[in-house]
Structure 1
Amino acid sequence: MQARDLMESDVKTVAPDDDVADAFKKFARYDFSGFPVVDDGDRLVGVVTESDLVDLFEPDDETLWIPIGLPPFVDTLTYQVKAPWADLDLGVDMVRNADRPISEVMSTDVATVTPDTDVNEVLDLLAGDDPDINRVPVVDDDGRLVGLIARQDVIRAFRDKRLA
């Protein structure tokens, strides 16, 4: 079994010059957690995921740590809360980042395979140590996107083979 046997060839993509608002619309319209980013020649240039966009709206400096309990437990028990102004900041961040190009937030170090790649290599990528790999773009020799393999595609293929 090879990558071409597992891949979905009708892939929804975004362009590097699409803005964050366009990507949010696609995430709302399609039940995907990430999209390949392709240039005008359909060459893969990156991947944008929901977590890439969420990171735009999660400032690190708004977390408040409050000690709870009585001594001697004050040092060991803490509770994390968000400051009440965080909701207001989210709206401001949304407006501030809405027209930001995807090329500024996408991941560019993308693991890919070719259509001839053996299924074992695909499995190694999807089940490897990198928890960020949930889908593997399939590219031709020129780097053009020809398909996408998600974890469920691999599971479905093995189930179908077992039932056949």
Structure 2
Amino acid sequence: MNAADVMTGNVETVAPDDEVGEVLARLADVNYSGFPVVEDGRVVGVVTEGDLVDLFEVEDRVLWIPIGLPPLADTLTYAFDLPGDDVDIAAHAEDPISSVMTADPVTVDADDSIDALLDLLADPESDINRLPVLEAGELVGIVTRQDLLRGLNRERDAGGAA
């Protein structure tokens, strides 16, 4: 089994100059959480819901309070979301998606092994959830963690070894 066996083809993409607001609207209409960013037929980035949420996160509204009296008790730190103004989504709606995307994403070739995909998708430090699949440098599909699990499950059910 290889990447081509588990990938999802016909991948929806966005362009680097697509506006954040457009991409948010598209994400609301699909059942996945990110898009490859393609320019001139080449994958130049990936944008995810997480990237867009980070854009609107207000860091100065969180108050961190240490609780406890060392050495008598462990000190725990609690975060409290302070009341504040609503996040102004319109302020970023016209920003290009290139301003929030992950540039130069990790990609795989269509003939890469399942073991190679597992190594990439299970690595907690890189925390990758989707891998654009390339063939001769062109985007032909995408493999998500869920795609990989489905493929491994099919292989197991068929009685083969993954």
Q: Same fold (TM over 0.5)?
A: yes
Give ranges in structure 2 of 5+ residues lacking alignment.
Answer: none
Q: Percent identity?
A: 51
Q: How many Å separate the matches in 1 of 2:149 and 2:83?
A: 43
Matched, 1:135 2:130: yes
Q: How many Å separate the matches in 1 of 2:45 and 2:120?
A: 17
Matched, 1:52 2:55: no
Q: How many Å separate the matches in 1 of 2:10 and 2:83?
A: 43
CA distance change for structure 1 residues 6 and 78 in 2, over 3 Å: closer, same or farther? closer
Name 1:146's counterpart in structure 2.
Answer: 140
In the superposition, the TM-score normalised over structure 2's length comes to 0.85
CA RMSD of aligned residues (A): 2.4
Structure with greater strand percent? 2
| Aligned partner of residue 81 in structure 1, secondary structure | strand
2:61 and 2:83 in contact (8 A); partners too: no
Structure with greater helix percent? 1
- Runs ≥4 in structure 1, deviation > 3 angstroms? 65-70, 75-79
Name 1:104's counterpart in structure 2.
Answer: 99
Q: How many Å separate the matches in 1 of 2:79 and 2:127?
A: 26
| One-letter amino acid matched to 1:54 | V
| One-letter amino acid matched to 1:157 | G
CA distance change for structure 1 residues 61 and 2 in 2, over 3 Å: closer, same or farther? same
> Could you list the per-position Cα deviations for residues 59-104 of structure 1 after superposition, in whole angstroms to 9, with x for gaps in the alignment?
222212356689x99x94554222211xx240x2x11100000011
Q: Aligned residue pairs: how many? A: 158
Give ranges in structure 1 of 5+ residues lacking alignment.
Answer: none
> Could you list the per-position Cα deviations for residues 24-79 of structure 1 after superposition, in whole angstroms to 9, with x for gaps in the alignment?
1121111112111111x321010001111111111222212356689x99x94554
CA distance change for structure 1 residues 8 and 81 in 2, over 3 Å: closer, same or farther? same
